[in-house]
Chains A and B, each alone.
Chain A
Amino acid sequence: MSFDAYRCENGHVTYPGHTVCPECGAAQTETVDLTDATGTLVTWTTSTATPPGVREPNHLGIVEFDVAGGTVRALGQLTTGDVESGDPMTPVYCEELRDPDAGIREPESQSWDGYRFAPAEE
């Protein structure tokens, strides 16, 4: 399992990947593994009105990673709500982020594992 962002031949990086690079239309030909990267928390919230199958409260944040050629951001659950914008964060693998059978989306249509973000250890 890896936490992959996608880079096109012109160096633009996105997470998640797209059919073609949304910036320039070129094919996304490489992956950039963020599994061991440390990023910066751009903003966050604690959601207390969550949909079926989602933990409550649900801490969520957007983390920005420096990668060759620029930055890339990812949205993800946070392991704690005890954070501040600007905090360094690292990805932590989670096998099932929400109950695939409880919500409206067809369980088979997508994956349900992924990465939460935890405060980076000093």
Chain B
Amino acid sequence: MDRVAVIGASMTQFGQRDAWVRELLAEAGEDCLADAGVAADELDHLYVSNMASGEFEGQTGVPNALAHDLGALGAYTQRVDQTSASGGAGVYAAWQSVASGASNLTMLVGGEKMTHRSTAEATDVIASLTHPAEYKHGVTLPSFAGMTARHYLETYDAPRESLADVAVKNHRNGVDNPHAQFRTEVDRETVLESPVVADPLRLYDFCPITDGSAALLLCPESVASEYTDDYSVVSGIGGATDTHVVHERDDPTVMGGVVDSSETAYEMSGRGPDDVDVAELHDMFTILEVLQLEDLGFFEKGEGWHAAREGVTARDGDLPINTSGGLKSKGHPLGASGVAQVYEVHRQVTDDAGDRQVDADVGLACNVGGFGNCVTTTIVEGAK
């Protein structure tokens, strides 16, 4: 089978932006087309990853709007919503469009406009993904993180500080990402003394609310070199769901969607955890990076908390995690995040990551929706 190549990539400045969702999507889309030197009217398919433009902004129908704004009329368009994993699900849809032969040139643009809403309102939009039996209790995604973090720390006798170390590492990485929302280092004490959000987790254990957009351009590997020499290849991809009701999972410290989607991606690529040189994980909350390190097979269950603490996942460690700064410091514009993860991995494996560059041939991105409810894992390799 002809594999799918990534021939262009872009991301906008993440943070508090004046632009609205249409403008954010168009900005990333234009930059991505320019990155590959492709005209919009050459696109066969155009996908938009977005969770909630209707709820946030009262703007629906964003793929059609983007096609018109970019001049991609005639392209097949589709919006992909998989909550926080809309980006990863969009990567899956875009990959599928090329892998199936339905499209010879597909652009995926992920974006979200959130910061005009109060924290309480934005939290409620996101919490609306929960089951009625959960929503009525006022549960939020951060409170799931608090409960899971407590259970993890108590079950595996892990120190609270180990989660702070994830935030410290990702903030350090974000300093060198010009697109990141936060480009400031924080120390462990700052994290541990920040205001409680969902006990035992504190403000610096959580990603911020963010506006932003990111894009990828995909084509069959067989024709990629006609566009550029610096392309990467999606060698494996998998998606999976876990329970909607979070408390119904047998082991609250296992994210079944991460396990299942990564098994599929590893099998397709012929790679395993030991082959991965760099990874972008969904650190919406510090505890999630630890759980993914384990559920992707990088660490045994109950051992992932050692990683940041011992420098294994630092940029100069054996397995650099979230060289972009992660959601934690780069920001988390819902629909954009999974796309921006692949953007970072693509830059890393094509030796184009600037100050953030690590030695990497094989990269992995894990995008988590809900509280592990739906997950996409993508493996991207340099073409060399």
Among B140, B196, B198, B199, point to the contact of A51 (Cβ < 8 A): B140
Interface size on A, residues (CB 8 A): 40
Chain B residue contacts of A74, Cβ below 8 A: 133, 247
B124, chain A: closest CB distance, angstroms: 4
The answer to whether A114 has its CB under 8 Å from any CB of chain B is yes
Interface size on B, residues (CB 8 A): 40
Chain B residue contacts of A44, Cβ below 8 A: 147, 150
B360, chain A: closest CB distance, angstroms: 36
In the bound complex, what is the Cα–Cα distance between A105 and B119 (angstroms)?
A: 17
Given known contacts A62-B252, A111-B132, A43 and B138 CB-to-CB distance under 8 angstroms: no
Given known contacts A85-B151, A97-B137, A52 and B197 CB-to-CB distance under 8 angstroms: no
Chain A residue contacts of B139, Cβ below 8 A: 47, 60, 75
Chain B residue contacts of A55, Cβ below 8 A: 138
Interface residues of B in 181-231 (CB under 8 A from A): 195-201
A49 near B120: Cβ-Cβ < 8 Å = yes
Interface residues of B in 51-107 (CB under 8 A from A): 55
A101, chain B: closest CB distance, angstroms: 13
B128, chain A: closest CB distance, angstroms: 5
B142 near A47: Cβ-Cβ < 8 Å = yes
In the bound complex, what is the Cα–Cα distance between A114 and B120 (angstroms)?
A: 23
Among B124, B125, B127, B247, point to the contact of A73 (Cβ < 8 A): B247
B138 near A77: Cβ-Cβ < 8 Å = yes
A112 nearest in chain B by CB position: B136
Chain B residue contacts of A105, Cβ below 8 A: 128, 132, 135
Chain B residue contacts of A42, Cβ below 8 A: 151, 252
A47, chain B: closest CB distance, angstroms: 4
In the bound complex, what is the Cα–Cα distance between A120 and B377 (angstroms)?
A: 43
A43 near B195: Cβ-Cβ < 8 Å = no
Residue ranges of B at the interface with A (Cβ–Cβ < 8 Å): 55, 119-121, 123-125, 127-128, 131-140, 142-143, 146-148, 150-151, 154, 195-201, 243, 245-248, 252
A-B contacts, 20 listed (Cβ < 8 Å): A16-B131, A43-B151, A44-B150, A46-B146, A46-B199, A47-B142, A48-B197, A48-B199, A49-B140, A60-B137, A60-B147, A73-B248, A74-B247, A75-B137, A85-B150, A85-B151, A97-B137, A98-B136, A103-B128, A109-B132
